[in-house]
Structure 1
């Protein structure tokens, strides 16, 4: 597969920057990231997916058992992942080292351990996502789109410039495809039209900005809406509430923290 990162198309950085990752110790029923050991006690396998992903593993072999929150289903990468993703650490000594260090930090209770664990988990998940993207996906979704060397260029462009007035023709040219071929391929591989994906991405980012307290009219302009009213209609259709209500809720949270 062509190295798109070397060509200037980093498929993960914008998504990583937009969604904060938090890790909490969890039991087997709630854990979404589990590292298990082999007979020698060395980290041998990572399981990542839906809660309970490590169910059935011998507790004596569990080195790491945590719940990862990385933006929930608002993060299109998390929404596109399979319910269970397995990675054998025998094929990646560096990841095995990170997993072992994570196990050490979780068990030692040192100062700053929570922050270190978050960063180690981010490293593991990014490496897992790279492996998943390189392997491709058996079903439609963002992972499949990012795995495609043509569509990934268009998707990264949408991620990086959500406020641009994107036309299918613009995205088709970036992908190096004819307009009809681009539209057909995008729908087949990603599972929705380019316009629908762009709209969903814009509203995801808009919700984040409103929760930070940004003004509705500024958010509407930022993400390419012609008017606050048009933005409000789209936002209500997606989230079932008015963007003003979302901003007001954010203000109460900010005031409570300040108090």
Structure 2
């Protein structure tokens, strides 16, 4: 058995190289994969299941084909694609997951998985925004708006996010150590897998000096990152994104 994890691809019509990289990943790396977990921010923005940019349709078709071939797909919302709904999940035959869930890996180890933005509690401004947009009433109101208005709101939100992020200390936007420790202890788990921070690494001693591991998935930019888990354990891997 082989389980793969990816996150933070930020697919958009502005980065065709990332679309090509994901198609390469799906065609050439997932061949012996039993399960593929999409841990959020697969898309740079998602304004509703009723709109997919034509440039991204090949990705949708390839994910659906992968599912049809026998690979189980799972999707967890990120801070950019939190509006992905059941209609999209049905298109690719994926299971929508709650924002935190424990799973069993091929080696028998239990892992807590999440996108990871909920761990960054020191960024209080972002956490307030997160609470707002995750509110079902806010989402229903947004989805009721015409397509062009939603596109404009999404553009403005992305621009505002980039501006605010540029002015924040890196430490504020990283995970909070106590929040990580609490999450692992509450889940009765020794392993946490997440994305969001764009800081790929394997961190040990996350619960105490003798226990707890946190694997951070990388964002897709100059390289594409994925976590491969088999009966022999997990390995964080990356390859260069081809620009042509």
Give the shorter-chain TM-score range.
under 0.3
Higher normalized helix content (fraction of residues): 1
TM-score for the superposition, normalised by structure 2? 0.26
TM-score for the superposition, normalised by structure 1? 0.25
Higher normalized strand content (fraction of residues): 2
Instruction: Compare relative contact order (CA 8 Å, sep 6+) and give the higher one, 1 or 2.
Output: 2
